[in-house]
Amino acid sequence: MGVVVHHRYATVGGRRLFYREAGSAGMPTVVFLHGFPTSSFMFRNLIPQLEGYRVIAPDHLGFGLSDAPSVDEFDYSFDALADLTAGLLEQLGVTRYAIGVQDYGAPIGWRLAVRDPEAVVAVISQNGNGYDEGFVASGWQGIWDYQREQTPENEAALRGVFTLRAIRDQYVTGVEDESILSPDTWHLDHAFLSRPGNAEVQLKLFLNYATNPPLYPALHEWLRTKQVPVLATWGKYDPFFGPDGARAFARDTENAEVHLMEGGHFLLESAGDEVAALIREFLAKHLPTA
């Protein structure tokens, strides 16, 4: 029968969160945390390839099929998104797990790890940054400008990121054969981003992203102290997070395995089977099923 993926909702802190789940309690658990501007949809093809594991992949608040309250109703921050994720895992009885992080999923995952150092036993990072040298300045300049000064000009420049063309660019940049990519991905992301009030949610998180680099030293200390196993599968042409961000993990843990791969920001869309094989091999070593 293979892996059956369930699509479920849970209410955490009064907010309805959507999540995908495979496997069952008692199995070793992997939690996948998605990035901007997507949702757990990005893991739709990966989850069925991880037989023998309980896999949980939520949509962050404001993304995908989870609730998306306005910025007047909810104070969006990476701390708040981490709180909701922790609440979901507590509700599901998950106390020990590996994390798989991409883009925004990384700062959420790092918060979970630093808050509860014994809970997270391994890290899978697919272009999930944790080092200053991982930032590609040309991809971040608009956000940095907005963080420094929230002028109408800086805001207008960032709102351009929410267009269908800009979202598509996130998927196709660095992929040699664009025809292997499913356009459903960027059309779905654009539809969610286009909901009334969602642009303001994303602008709030762009602003709050400034709180993430100051957490990196605590992440590095956790990696060094625990010698946490890390698998970095990195699309090396990512316009936002460069290969130096992947290589840097090896500085803090001797259990780092770094793969710089042909592809871009959303590597699972162009090299999903190859990444899944690396993840299975990594988990077999560090989170065995038997």
What token pair was written down for 51? 């037989």
Tokens 């893991």 locate to: 43
Q: CB-based contacts of 33: which residues, under 8 Å, 6+ apart? A: 57, 58, 60, 85, 99, 100, 101, 102, 104, 105, 106, 108, 109
What token pair was written down for 140? 């971040």
Q: How far apart are CA 76 and CA 70, in angstroms?
A: 9
- Nearest CA among 127, 10, 11, 13 for reference residue 80: 13
Which of 34, 60, 220, 265 is the catalytic position?
265
Q: Cis omega before residue 214 (within 30°)?
A: no
Q: How far apart are CA 113 and CA 84, in angstroms?
A: 14
What token pair was written down for 96? 């020990």
* R_g over Cα of the chain: 18
> What are the CA-CA distances from residue 157 to residues 147, 176, 205 (Å)?
13, 28, 15
Judge whether 220 counts as a catalytic residue: no
- Nearest CA among 234, 229, 226 for reference residue 271: 234
b or e along 205-237 (b: 16 or more beta carbons within 10 Å of the residue's beta carbon)?
Answer: bbbbbeebeebbeebbebbeebebbbbbbbbbb
- Nearest CA among 43, 38, 21 for reference residue 91: 21
Q: Which residues are catalytic?
A: 265
